Structure 1
Amino acid sequence: MKYIVVGLGSFGSALAVKLTEQGNEVIGIDTSMDKVESYKEKISHTICMDATDEFTVSGLPLKDTDMVVIAIGENRGANVMATALFKNMNVKKLVSRAIDSLHEKVLYAIGVHQIVHPEQESAERWAKKLCLKGILDSFELSEEFSIVEINVPTQFYGKTIKDINIRENFNLLILTTMSASEEKNLLGTSKQVFKVHGVADPNYVLHKEDILVVYGAKKDINRFVQSK
């Protein structure tokens, strides 16, 4: 089979080398020339390039590739952007690395086929929560922008996403919505589970149990939360 592995860190490089050793054709991609050079004898092909650049990515042999693995772990923003870009290129199968639960939900909303969690093996999970009531989880795309989970403010119960006009009023974008519910296992123990509704529908009616996954500048997110 033919693979493209984006990100030659500890996880991505180990995966690309292993796939090559098993007889697959692998293209390993990284922005670091040092990493590209160090693995050129162990991976079928290595390329130094920016996987978030549409023009560069369009030059890859995507139609002949069976699977693309986004293994970027150090930069969530680059991971999400690269994942979205390859998804838009309609690759046959797309797998992406998730660092935490919110990252995973965003990746599923984008439409990846499978999520991998290499950090779970070492019990490391990075997450930074904004110190404001109503924000459940967050991760930074950059120093200025974040993606956050927010409880639906009470004044928006029963309204559609279109009705709340969040883009015009707060300069924010709703990526998706989720519903929280309680589910019992075979032992009778309850746990909270989340249903992701996919790409946000402007006609979706918001309910008390819903959670918004919002993208935008931190100052605008804070302004939205404080408006409650």
Structure 2
Amino acid sequence: MKYIILGLGNFGASLAEKLTASGNEVIGIDIKMNRVDALKEKITHTICLDATDESTVTGLPLKDTDIVIVAVGENQGVNVMITALFKNLGVKRLISRAVNSLHENVLNAIGVDEIVHPEQESAERWAKKLCMRGVVDSFELNEYFSIVEIKLPSRYENKTIEDVKFRERYNLLVLTTIKNAHVPTNIGKRKTIIDVQSVATPHLLLEKDDILVLYGSNKDIKKFISSK
């Protein structure tokens, strides 16, 4: 996978290093040369430039980049400008950092694909989320074991947990499932909410668009994801 990360502060730098260590190609960009110099031996490429300058940004390999991440956090105005610019340039997938709820509303209005909250979410979690396809979220218990949310593979739709044999086949434990529930609002519209189900039983029927909450070793989780 190829990434461009704009903003090499604490979160951006940590995410860039972890994605590079996982075998991805990462271009790290910041307007401050000291940040760029600090990472030039740690990630694939580093560039010092003003990411709000459209004429400069268009020279980046955007068509070959899978994900663009706007990690700028210290200046919300700059973050919004950069995010809007890359949205207009039509990048494949755009993720941006939100500092507060108003900032998040603005990013949603721009039309980003996903929003990062570094104050609540670590770079480690985001690196895992980006590197492991199908992973919605993750929580590392230690360096060996994790709890992850994974989109249900289509081949397991309309099967029970017992049918799939998660323990026997993958050495994983299904803790619960999450569904997207659609509920009416006070103004006559409908909104989607996250509906966490009860503790999973062997007879639980798995349905389309379910999210599995799995516990197991990182090695077994990766094996399950690669088998999808």
TM norm structure 2: 0.54
How far, CA to CA, are the matches of 2:41 and 2:187 in structure 1? 50
Counterpart residue number, 1:189: none
In structure 1, C-alpha distance between the alignment counterparts of 2:95 and 2:194, rounded to whole Å: 28
State the distance in 2 between where 1:17 and 1:180 align: 45
Deviations 1:142-195 (A, max 9, x none): xxxxxxxxxxxxxxxxxxxxxxxxxxxxxxxxxxxxx98699998xxxxxxxxx
Q: Which runs of 4+ in 1 moved over 2 A?
A: 179-186
- Number of positions where the alignment pairs a residue of Structure 1 with one of Structure 2: 130
SS in 2 for 1:35: helix
Q: Could you say which residue in structure 1 is the equivalent of 2:155?
A: none
> Within 2, Cα distance between the matches of 1:105 and 1:55?
27
Q: State the partner residue of 2:86.
A: 86
- Tell me the equivalent position of 2:55: 55
Q: Matched residue of 1:60: which SS?
A: coil
Change (3 A) 1:25 1:121: closer
Q: Distance in 1 between matches of 2:194 and 2:103?
A: 25
Amino acid at match of 2:110: I
- Note closer, same or farther for the CA distance 1:181–1:42 as it changes in structure 2 (3 Å cut): farther
**Structure 1 partner of 2:28:** 28
1:95 partner SS:
strand
Identity among equivalent positions (%) equals 66
Residue of structure 2 in register with 1:9 after alignment: 9
In 2, Cα distance between equivalents of 1:28 and 1:111: 23
**Residue 66 of structure 2 is aligned to residue 66 of structure 1:** yes
Task: Tell me the distance in 1 between the aligned counterparts of 2:5 and 2:194.
Answer: 37
Match of 1:119 in 2: 119
- Distance in 1 between the 2:121 and 2:21 partners? 23
Tell me the TM-score normalised to structure 1 length: 0.54
User: Closer, same or farther in 2 for the Cα pair 1:102/1:39, shift >3 Å?
Assistant: same
Structure 2 segments unaligned to the other structure (5+ residues):
123-184, 196-228
Q: 1:34 to 1:104 in 2, by over 3 A?
A: same
3-state secondary structure, aligned to 2:46: strand
CA distance in 2, matches of 1:11, 1:114: 16
Deviation at 1:119, TM superposition (A): 1.4
Give the whole-Å Cα distance in 1 for the aligned partners of 2:70 and 2:19: 14
C-alpha distance 86-181 of structure 1, shift in aligned 2 (>3 A): same
User: C-alpha displacement at 1:120, in angstroms?
Assistant: 2.8
Please list every run of 5 or more consecutive structure 1 residues that lacks an aligned counterpart in the other structure. 123-178, 187-228
Structure 2 CA distance for partners of 1:104 and 1:34, relative to 1, 3 Å: same
Q: Give the Cα separation in 2 of the matches to 1:18 and 1:185.
A: 29
SS at match of 1:119: coil
Q: Distance in 1 between matches of 2:38 and 2:21?
A: 16
Output one character per residue of 1:64-123: Cα deviation in whole Å (capped at 9) or x when no partner: 00000000000001100000000000000000000001100100100100001011359x
RMSD across aligned positions (CA):
2.3
